[in-house]
Structures are given as structure tokens and as C-alpha cells.
Amino acid sequence: MPLPKDPAKREGWIHKQQENTKTLHQNSEYRSRYESGIRKREQNPEYIRNREEGIKTRSNTIEWRNGRRITALKLAQDPGWQDKQQTGAQKRSRNPEWQSNQIKGAQKRSINPDWRNNQKVGIRKTTQDPKWKLKHIEGLFGGFWYGNVKYNDSKYCELWCPDLWHRIDEAQNYQSILSGKTKLDNGGRALNRHHVYWQPKACCDWDEDVQGYYAMINVGNRKIPTYIKYYIKGDPNKFVLLTSQEHGMVSKNKLGWIKLFEELIEIKLGGTCYLPKSSSSK
């Protein structure tokens, strides 16, 4: 039965087809014949040529591209799909046959003049993008982060200096507050000294109305920032040591991480996340 033209019937037809396909693929005999048929078609030059022409034709259709983009965005937000993709990628990467095919594919593409030309055009277009230029400069500097001594900007507090870094390291025994990992576990690089409240300055703002410190936390993202006012108990200068991988995790669910770090500083560090100047051995 062909796809119904009536939109009301179309959704039901698609759902029924999907259910039928699932039922068929649960049959081991059918699945074996299906996979055998696919392998046979993949060796047919005419089938390969028709498939490539079909892909080119579809890719030139605006509706098809928009549909693919919308579907990709929906899938990217599905945690189940993300886990499945990651597991599948790890499994494939350990397959010698897959590795060999990847190498052969790369070699085949590299001798294709059209592919090389498209790569050059893409690189040229990318390097003209202001966002790419900013990231490139950031990479040359080593990253726009608190501990990068190469990047000196007035938006960072003058108190954020090697002396304070050493006192943070010593107070936390040079270990990640989350995992206990050290510099050696971080690829030989010093652990990240993360400001719990995401403040470029080494202090926060005072609210006269409530007689307390607060920080404006962006719970949105860079493109669509959404700030909330978060009131701080005690010293507003709270720092934790993290590995590079852990430091990349804490940009999501900032409020959750802030509350966790506040608790860990009290429980693991006794409320002291950096030593006073007189206590530092450096």
C-alpha cells in the first residue's frame, strides 16, 4: 500500500510500517536474509552508482536538507540516542576491518581532485569566520581561563596570581575534589583551579538589602544567556581543583555543581579551599 496523501492517514500508515519492520527484524531468519541481501547489493556497481546519484539528487533539495537538519537536532537531544551512538562508535573503532576501511576510504578521497578542492574551499571559509578566529587565538594563548598567565586582561582580578594558585593547590593537597586525581592523571598538566561561582574577579558583589554576597550565574548559554542571582554563604572566594575533563563537565547544570562544590568544600576541606598567605610554603 503506497503512502497515503491524506496527512491524517499518513502518520498512522508510517507508524504501522515501523511496527511491521520491528516485528520482521525480531525474526533471526529474516534478519539473516536481509543482511545477506544488503551485502550482495553493496557489491553491485549499478546499485552503488544509483545510490550515489540518488544521494546527490536529494541533497540538492532544500526540503530534504531541512528535514535532515530537524531530525539531527531532535536526535542530538535524546540521551538514549547519544549513549547508543557512543557505544556503537567505541565498538566500531575496535574492529580491525572497520579501521582498514577507514584508511582505504581516506586514501581514496585524498586522490579525488573534487574532494581536495572542496576541502580547500571549506578551510578558507572556516578561517574567515570570526568565531573560528577567536578560538584559534584562544588556542595560541592556551585558553582564556583564570590560570593562564599568558592571557592578561583587566576583567580578571589582580589577586588571581601564582601566589593564590599555590595556596589553593596546597589547601586541596594537589588533588581533584571530585576524583582525587593529580597532575599526573591530568596528562602532566596542573589541575584546573575552578571558581565555584564562575566569577572572573576574585570576589563577588555585595547586596545591601540582604547584607550578603551574590553572583550572577548564567544558567543558559553563550548565545542565549539567562542570568539568575545566587546568594552566597560565607566567603565568596571558593575554588576547587578539577582535571581538564572534569572542568569541561561543570559548564552544564551550573547550579547543581555550585551546590555540590559548596558541600564538598565543607565536608572534604573543612570549609577551607585556599590557605592564607602566611601558611603557604611557596
Long-range contacts of 211-217 (CB under 8 A, 24+ apart): 217/254, 217/255, 217/258
DSSP states of 66-79 as a string?
Answer: HHHHHHHHHHHT-H
Local structure of residue 4 (DSSP, 8 states): P
The tens digit of pLDDT for each residue in 12-32 reads 877 788 888 888 778 888 888
Q: What is the pLDDT of residue 31?
A: 82
Question: pLDDT higher for 119 or 195?
Answer: 195
Residue with C-alpha cell 540538492? Answer: 60
pTM for the model stands at 0.47
pLDDT (tens digit, 9 = 90+) per residue, 165-186? 999 999 999 999 999 999 999 8
**pLDDT tier at 234 (50, 70, 90 boundaries)?**
confident
148 burial type by CB count under 10 A (0-12 exposed, 13-18 middle, 19+ buried): middle
